[in-house]
């Protein structure tokens, strides 16, 4: 797993969600695709998806339950999970999470 | 003022200060210089500097008092202020601030 993205564009304006529990910055790649690079502080939140997402966890730890599932699964640095489009997931962040969100 | 940085490297791991009141991501330019791109949520904080800094404000609003000064000054989008090295500044963020911190 790489620790950085090279040769990208990054938007100066951040994205702030849930009163700052989640802060991200948008990265645009040479092929026009976008990803967001963010931090989620310890909290229990529900995120809704538009496009399908892959959440790559690069630091911290969290428990996640996808919409329609009964089980919570734990994700830490070096793991990732997929979220369908037009869906949602609950996340309990137990240790501040660094993530990259891949869309589509 | 540009709204983005092009052809840069961005580190996936964020920087979290003051229990998440300040979250930034590190950007590295082709010449090796670094800047941080961040958000400060409404709060009253004191930042210490190592290297001299230029704080470029790209969104929100804040009142700032440099160490050794009596007066507070207000900064909003499109403005910036200089902080000497080995010094500090107090900041009262009244509306969530987007900033770029230039070092050296």
Q: Determine, for residues B39 and A59 on separate chains, whether the beta-carbon distance falls below 8 Å.
A: no
Contact of A101 with A93, CB cutoff 8 Å: no
Strand partners, A59: A98
Q: What is the pLDDT of residues A15-47, one digit of tens each?
A: 999 999 999 999 999 999 999 999 999 999 999
Write down the residue that tokens 């950085």 correspond to. Answer: A4
Q: What is the pLDDT of residues B37-69, one digit of tens each?
A: 999 999 999 999 999 999 999 999 999 999 999
- Which ipTM did the prediction report? 0.94
HEC readout, B20-40: HCEEEEEEECCCCCEEEEEEE
Q: A104: which 2 tokens?
A: 């589509």
Q: Which domains does chain B have, with CATH numbers?
A: 9-103 (2.60.120.10)
DSSP 8-class letter at A50: S
C-alpha span between B37 and B57 (Å, rounded): 10
Q: What distance in Å separates residue A69's CA from the closest CA in chain B?
A: 29
Q: Which residue of A has its CA nearest to B11?
A: A4
Burial bucket for residue A13 (CB in 10 Å: 0-12, 13-18, 19+): middle
C-alpha span between B98 and B95 (Å, rounded): 10
Q: Is the pLDDT of residue B70 over 80?
A: yes
Q: Which residue of A has its CA nearest to B1?
A: A12
């Amino acid at each position: 797993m790489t620790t950085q993205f090279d040769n990208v564009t990054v938007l100066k304006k951040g994205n702030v969600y849930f009163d700052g529990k989640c802060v991200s910055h948008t990265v645009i790649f040479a092929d026009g695709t976008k990803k967001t690079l963010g931090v989620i502080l310890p909290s229990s939140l529900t995120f809704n998806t538009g496009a399908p997402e892959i959440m790559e966890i690069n630091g911290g730890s969290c428990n996640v339950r996808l919409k329609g599932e009964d089980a919570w699964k734990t994700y830490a640095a070096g793991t990732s999970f997929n979220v369908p489009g037009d869906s949602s997931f609950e996340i309990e962040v137990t240790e501040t999470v660094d993530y990259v969100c891949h869309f589509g």
